[in-house]
Homo-oligomer: A and B are copies of this chain.
């Protein structure tokens, strides 16, 4: 793995078209080596590895400092959903270009005024012969600024409310009637976009799963999103290792308060890894992933923030001046990482929602 990693760090895929394409090239390199998505079956370009083998792959991946996966919406979220709900035609049409990096996917879950309420969908898909006509407004669509296709929920039954009457529809971001507008985020990157749909026509064959049952299909996907696939433990173990190195390099900046926080955060990174291995073992033994996806989401998002907060505490006043610096030690990564981590407790189902889920589905407390 290390031998194939680009020697120059790639520009962020959220910063520019060039950065995005450089990451797409990396996805192609991975795919050619059969490393695009190692848990996928061989027929779609994978290696049919088990989850535990995947975790070990991820260790190697992060240890080598390999680039972030611009392809993650596709390979981790949509791909598994297509394998479960897609027709044979859809599988062959979508999965191979997805694994190859030829089609990069954006997700289009949220709508304005919906927030954490994913079922508050107003965007509609009206049947017109063998097409749906899409109308509406999606927001907080990750990767959409530079991606090729997107997937999202649309109301196919105009009479329906809430989570009923929705369908999961895939659409090209360059189709007529689709307009993408980037959102400037607090770290200055363009990680998200708004998508305006103005009578965009989509073939019925691009609906995934049965009409009107998009919510159930999506929940499988949202479960994956919250779950372990997007947040492999190696990411935090590598960050914890770097944090320890930072603290060792600047012992004069580590007082009791920082030392105490450092100890806790490193233990937490290790606890996260052990917990994910335990879940993977359970899944390997035939278990299913349940509401503990919510406990994971809360834990990794708080861990990520804590790791970067400790780093900024060590860096002190220099921290604010690490905006894209030209530093060999990559100290600027801590600031970037902190800003990115701030989004953790908010996106992919805000932590408040996750706590509700734990309380209601694990502990059986009544709905508010």
Interface residues of A (CB under 8 A from B): 256-257, 259-261, 263-264
CB distance from A263 to the nearest CB of B (A): 7
- Residue from the list B257, B263, B264 in contact with A263, Cβ < 8 A: B257
- Given the complex, which residues of B lie within 8 Å of A261, measured CB to CB? 260
* Chain A interface main SS type: helix
Give 12 pairs: A residue, B residue, CB < 8 Å, sorted on A: A256-B256, A256-B257, A256-B259, A256-B260, A256-B263, A257-B259, A257-B260, A257-B263, A257-B264, A259-B260, A260-B260, A260-B261
Cα A274 to Cα B215 with chains together (Å): 54
CB distance from A355 to the nearest CB of B (A): 15
Cα A260 to Cα B259 with chains together (Å): 9
The 4 lowest CB-CB distance pairs between A and B, nearest first, are A256-B259, A257-B260, A256-B256, A260-B260
Instruction: Give the interface centre of A256, A257, A261, A264 by most chain B CB atoms within 10 Å.
Output: A256
- Given the complex, which residues of B lie within 8 Å of A263, measured CB to CB? 256-257
CB distance from A250 to the nearest CB of B (A): 16
CB distance from A264 to the nearest CB of B (A): 8
Cα A276 to Cα B257 with chains together (Å): 27
Cα A264 to Cα B259 with chains together (Å): 15
Cα A256 to Cα B259 with chains together (Å): 6
Cα A259 to Cα B260 with chains together (Å): 9
- Given the complex, which residues of B lie within 8 Å of A264, measured CB to CB? 257
CB distance from A22 to the nearest CB of B (A): 43
- Given the complex, which residues of B lie within 8 Å of A260, measured CB to CB? 256-257, 259-261
Cα A263 to Cα B261 with chains together (Å): 14
Beyond A256-B260, A259-B260, A260-B261, 9 additional contacts (C-beta under 8 Å) are A256-B256, A256-B257, A256-B259, A256-B263, A257-B259, A257-B260, A257-B263, A257-B264, A260-B260
Cα A261 to Cα B261 with chains together (Å): 11
Q: Considering only CB atoms, which chain B residue lies closest to A264 in the complex? A: B257
CB distance from A258 to the nearest CB of B (A): 8
Cα A263 to Cα B259 with chains together (Å): 14
CB distance from A211 to the nearest CB of B (A): 38
- Given the complex, which residues of B lie within 8 Å of A257, measured CB to CB? 256, 259-260, 263-264
Cα A263 to Cα B256 with chains together (Å): 10
Cα A256 to Cα B261 with chains together (Å): 9
Q: Considering only CB atoms, which chain B residue lies closest to A261 in the complex? A: B260
CB distance from A314 to the nearest CB of B (A): 14
Cα A62 to Cα B99 with chains together (Å): 72
Cα A185 to Cα B313 with chains together (Å): 43
Cα A261 to Cα B257 with chains together (Å): 8
CB distance from A104 to the nearest CB of B (A): 41
Cα A291 to Cα B96 with chains together (Å): 62
- Given the complex, which residues of B lie within 8 Å of A259, measured CB to CB? 256-257, 260
CB distance from A237 to the nearest CB of B (A): 22
- Given the complex, which residues of B lie within 8 Å of A256, measured CB to CB? 256-257, 259-260, 263
CB distance from A172 to the nearest CB of B (A): 43
Q: Considering only CB atoms, which chain B residue lies closest to A259 in the complex? A: B256
Cα A260 to Cα B261 with chains together (Å): 9
Cα A256 to Cα B251 with chains together (Å): 14
